[in-house]
Amino acid sequence: MRNVRPWHLALAASVVIFLVAVVLALHGARQANPAGLAGAPPLPPSRLPYGGSYKLPGEVEVVGPRITQRDEQGRVLWEAEAQGAYDVDGDRKRVVAERVRWRLFREGQGALRVEAGKMTSELQAGTVAFGDGLRIYTEDGTAVFGASQALFDTRQRTLTAEGPVTLRKGGYVASARRLRIDAVAMKAHMGGGVRLAFQPGAAEAAPPPGGGGGRKG
Amino acid sequence: MRPTRGRRMALGLGALVAAAAVLAAQPAAQTDRATIDADQLEYDIDSGQAVLTGNCLVSIEGRVTGTLRASKVAVNIDTAANKIDNLEATGPVTFDGITDRVQGGAGKRVQVVGSCRDRATFSEKTMILSLIGAAHLATVTMPQDQDVKRAQFDGQTISYDLDANRVRGTKVRIQMEIATKERAPAP
């Protein structure tokens, strides 16, 4: 203890303070954005802890990265699985997920599948928005719709998209400026400069993600 | 052992027959292309049928090259062969096209102009264009040389076989013009 001088103590104290500051800063950053959503703004303090199970308004249930919404009869209306980060905002009643595989059901049967880079479900508005590399598949995978973004209305059960939209089936491609899929009648309406082009020898549509078939209820 | 002349001929003949069999087994080249422009398209996800409405313009290129205009076109698609199986156009319908070389036509092609009031159907398999309701069809052989044949058909319904250059119809009025070579005056 003979060699301990006051400046030694001051140096040790400053090192400890620095380390504590670093740890607190890292902890604060994790609190602000633990899921690490790329490009997402800082999350409000209302966000629910990551990885939990929650029942939210609008018959929406979140169990880990799986999100499910049921209809009035308790049947699964749609379900989604986030391959990337996801976030549940309890106050804003919003679920945001990245690299999503989404599946729509009609009377317990699979009807449509969506692959999207980002999904935002607004529980109060009753909408599910898709974007970033969006692909919409029919259940059998033989027809694929393409758009830059789309919006599913859970009450009307319609999926709409604006901008360049395409439909690929077998060897033909239909292109237009608007798309509306009625998930009750299972009809797709395309409008605005529609062109249906047949391409001899073109490849079949890609298979749907995660296979087909299956019932839910 | 050198093969005899007869054996060489037999081998050559066999190779020729084999080559002919291989060629015959090849599927016919599929060159038919088609585009349909319209204001709107309704696609039935369950049945796969596409219905186009508003200013429909069907452009086809292949055994027949031409255009069909209608206010509504329902298309049944052969997804295995990637082409139109058949289509039904709702009137008024107009058609304008040129067929490929017709059977027994000595290299002749036929220009076809048709119209109808009610509806028209076209089958890719049978290559038959049917015009229904106040149907009109005019055909001219191409090129228009001294052997040109012109015909006009007006009727309740008219069906035209684009492969065989054959017309059938009901209540049809026909006008034909067949050019004949002038005989040299007798000496």
Domain ranges of chain A: 1-32, 53-198
Measured distance CA(B20)–CA(B23) in Å, rounded? 5
Answer whether residue B9 is part of any domain.
no
Q: Is A191 close to B83, i.e. CB distance below 8 A?
A: no
Confirm if B57 and B37 have CB atoms less than 8 A apart: yes
Q: What is the ipTM of this complex?
A: 0.73
SS3 of residue B21 by DSSP: helix
Res B3 pLDDT > 60: no
Nearest CB partner across the interface for A200, out of B31, B42, B79: B31
Apex A163 CA angle, B80 and B70, nearest 5: 55
Q: How distant is the alpha carbon of residue A101 from its chain centre?
A: 7
* Residues 159-198 in A contacting B (C-alpha not used; CB under 8 Å): 167, 169-172, 174, 176, 181, 186-198
- Quick check: A203 contacting B, CB < 8 Å? no
What residues are paired with B114 via a beta bridge?
B95, B137
Measured distance CA(B51)–CA(B40) in Å, rounded? 8
Q: What is the mean pLDDT of residues B7-17?
A: 56
Exposed, middle or buried, B181 (CB in 10 Å: 0-12/13-18/19+)?
A: exposed
Share of chain B above pLDDT 70, in %: 70
List, for residues A92-109, the tens digit of each pLDDT value.
Answer: 788 899 999 999 998 888
- pTM, to two decimals: 0.72
Res A30 pLDDT > 60: no
What residues are paired with A168 via a beta bridge?
A144, A173
Which of B82, B83, B85 is the best substitution to test chain A (most A C-beta atoms within 10 A)?
A: B82
SS3 of residue B15 by DSSP: helix
How far A186 CA sits from the closest chain B CA (Å)?
Answer: 6
Q: In chain A, whose CA is at the least distance from the CA of B79? A: A170
How far A211 CA sits from the closest chain B CA (Å)?
Answer: 18
Most confident of A16-30, B29-43, B109-123, B172-186: B109-123
Buried-exposed string B106-126: b where 16+ CB fall within 10 A, e elsewhere: eebbbbbebbbebbbbbbbee
Q: What is the mean pLDDT of residues B143-167?
A: 85
Which domain CATH number covers B143? Answer: 2.60.450.10
Res A110 pLDDT > 50: yes
> In the structure, what pLDDT confidence band is assigned to residue A29 with cuts at 50, 70 and 90?
very low
Which of A138, A158, A198 is the best substitution to test chain B (most B C-beta atoms within 10 A)?
A: A198
Q: Is B37 close to A194, i.e. CB distance below 8 A?
A: yes
- Which is the CATH superfamily of the domain at A53-198? Lipopolysaccharide (LPS) transport protein A like domain (2.60.450.10)
**Which helix H or strand E contains A93, and what residues bound it?**
none
How high is the pLDDT of residue A211? 46
List, for residues B103-128, the tens digit of each pLDDT value.
Answer: 555 667 889 999 999 999 998 888 89
Res B89 pLDDT > 50: yes
> What is the domain count for chain B?
1
**Structure token pair of residue B5:** 């002349």
Confirm if A159 and A149 have CB atoms less than 8 A apart: no
Range of the domain at B170: 33-178
